[in-house]
Amino acid sequence: MAKRDYYEVLGIEKGASVDEIKKAYRKLAIQFHPDKNPGDHTAEEKFKEATEAYEVLSDQEKRGRYDQFGFAGIDPQAGGGFGGAAARDFEDLFGGGAFGDIFGSFFGGGGRRGDSTPRGSDLRYDLEVDFADSVFGTKIELSFSRQAACAVCEGTGAEVGSKRKVCPTCQGAGQVRRSSGFFSIAQTCPSCSGEGHIIEKPCKACRGAGTERKTQKVKVTIPAGIENGKRIRLEGQGDAAPRGGLTGDLYVYIHVKAHEWFERNGNDLYCLIPIGITQAALGAEINVSTLDGKTLKLKVPAGTQTGKLFRIKDAGVPVLQAPSRKGDLFIKVQVDVPTSLNGKAKDLLAQLAKIIGEEESPKPVKLAHIE
């Protein structure tokens, strides 16, 4: 059967852009893919035809020769296999996922793509820190279990004096290919499990794994101002990869203990201070202890009511990554009414009530005015 014009196959104009070519090919590839049409020879031929057209038109050089000389201007082998642009672009065309992985395997994709360096697992550590330590920062030593490189074979997995050898089955590629009709299917090498190397004499200490379980100790810096629920990443403190490769990371999740007197809102601190009725009525200067143990003087004006909020600037929590900046400390006062009075105190308060004219039948106050 005579070949159809490649632009006709994809249903596009001769001046179509690269994106238009990809879009057209993707639509046809999904429609006629053999996995969706098992046993349908017509669909199989259309899929092959569309792939051949895309293989040429997506390559600027091949497309130029085809536009000028037609089929005679391109390599006769250009449409015979599935590699090149179709193989390189399948993830872009199909967005990965199950179908993309299957489709990619027909083009020799999957398995070891590009950088196949193995990587160890990331680890999680939940750390409970004191309230003050989260505000001012500290250093804490952690102890945890992780997979580390074997001390005997230094992570190679091979017995001392022996070496890892290139896999004779895949020649180091990590994949083997087999033909299935017009497809060239790449699969993980069964001999080396995709690593490209084999170990003839495994290390006895780690049995060829290249890693062993160890207890690791590391100091972590808790930055000033860190909030509850944040995490700190310690690069390279996770599990080591089997037989070499990249080590994973350790993520330390921060859990801040509640404080007895202080609460935090953003970078501001809040506390409740009780004052006497005479201090509230006459005014006073009281001592207030801050979170860092210092003592501040707070002037309470005469006539202060319960719930009055006082603000002390720059006495709050340091801003994370900018510890020179701080939030504020808010002090809420609560007038402490004595519950036990001796006779003299009762007489004095009774006299005070008469002098200031306390009402025996106070008038109600609108609810909107009650704080």
The domains of the chain are located at 6-106, 116-161+208-258, 163-200, 263-358
The domains spanning 6-106 and 116-161+208-258 adopt the same CATH topology: no
The average pLDDT across 181-185 equals 59
CATH superfamily of 263-358: Urease metallochaperone UreE, N-terminal domain (2.60.260.20)
Per-residue pLDDT at 87 exceeds 60: no
What is the per-residue pLDDT for 286? 92
pLDDT, position 86: 52
Max mean pLDDT range (32-41, 65-74, 110-119, 288-297): 288-297
Q: What is the side-by-side strand order in the sheet with 123-129?
A: 123-129, 250-256, 231-234
- Nearest CA to 274 among 307, 237, 249? 307
Q: Give me the pLDDT at residue 320, please.
A: 87
Model pLDDT, residue 253: 96
Per-residue pLDDT at 261: 94
DSSP letter, residue 158:
B
Higher pLDDT, 243 or 106: 243
Can you name the residues that pair with 165 across neighbouring β-strands?
Answer: 198
* Superfamily classification of domain 6-106: DnaJ domain (1.10.287.110)
User: What distance, in Å, lies between the first and last C-alpha atoms of the chain?
Assistant: 90
Give, in words, the CATH class of 116-161+208-258.
Answer: mainly beta
Number of H helices, E strands in the chain: 9, 17
Pairwise CA distance, residues 100 & 90, whole Å: 7
How far apart (Å, rounded) are the C-alpha atoms in residues 192 and 325?
Answer: 56
Residue-level pLDDT at 18? 87
- pLDDT bin (cut points 50, 70, 90) of residue 105 is very low
Q: Are strands 329-336 and 268-276 parallel, antiparallel or unpaired?
A: parallel
The superfamily CATH assigns to domain 163-200 is Heat shock protein DnaJ, cysteine-rich domain (2.10.230.10)
Answer yes or no: is pLDDT of 88 > 70. no
